[in-house]
Structure formats: structure tokens, C-alpha cells
Amino acid sequence: MKVKLTDAEWKVMEVLWKEEPKTIMQITKELREETGWTKYTVMSFLKRMEDKGAVHFIEGERAKLYYSDLKREDASLQEAEEFLGKVFEGKLGLMVNAMVKRQALSEEDIKELYEILNTAKTNKKNG
């Protein structure tokens, strides 16, 4: 299931992915300092996200309890694929090459990339 999240909706999802369920007031309280959002703003986002299939709620004793319907990994992968497609013609190599040319990769980043690629190579041989 593909669900396109706005930047604001990502903020709400981050709160739910950290710990769920949460009420509107709990989400609002957690985001208020960073965003300045009121409960009405959060309610609006949650309704839109519910319509998209990103969240659902269950009636609690005093308030609705919101749950995510998207796995963080699935949403992240979808975002990454869309970004690569839009900016780098869907080619990971173009993105990495651009970062290398700008010297944007730290030693730790390079080490992590080697580990990821070695794991991919091993999985491909064994798969």
C-alpha cells in the first residue's frame, strides 16, 4: 500500500512510531514545542492521515487512541525510492557519486556503505 505523507504528517507518524497508541492531546503535547500546533491542527492532520490509510483510531475510555497503519521501514523505503526517481533518475549510483564529488561522506559513512554492500553481495550469493 502506497501512502504519500507530507512533511507535517511525517512528524505525527514519528510520534506514533516511537510509542503507540497516543491520544490527540498526547501527540499535540509532544509536537507543540517544535511546531506550535494546536490540537485542532493535529486533529486535522490525523483525519487526513486516516483517510489515506496511514492511521486508525479506537475509541478509548476518554479519548480516541491513534495507531499507525504504516511500518516505518515501508514508508522510508517508499520515500527513498521516490526521491531517487525524481532527483537521480532512479539510480543510486548517481546519488552516491554526487555525494563523493561534494566530499559529503564521512569516514563512518563510507565504512557503513562498504558493510551494506558486502551484506547485499553475500545475500545475493546465498539467495
Cα 18 from chain centre: 11
pLDDT in tens, the chain (127 residues): 689 999 999 999 999 999 999 999 999 999 999 999 999 999 999 999 999 999 999 998 899 999 999 999 999 999 999 999 999 998 888 998 899 899 999 999 999 999 998 999 898 888 7
Cβ atoms of 59 and 98 within 8 Å: the answer is no
What CATH class does 1-89 carry? mainly alpha
Residue with cell 490540537: 39
Rounded Cα gap, residues 75 and 4, in angstroms: 8
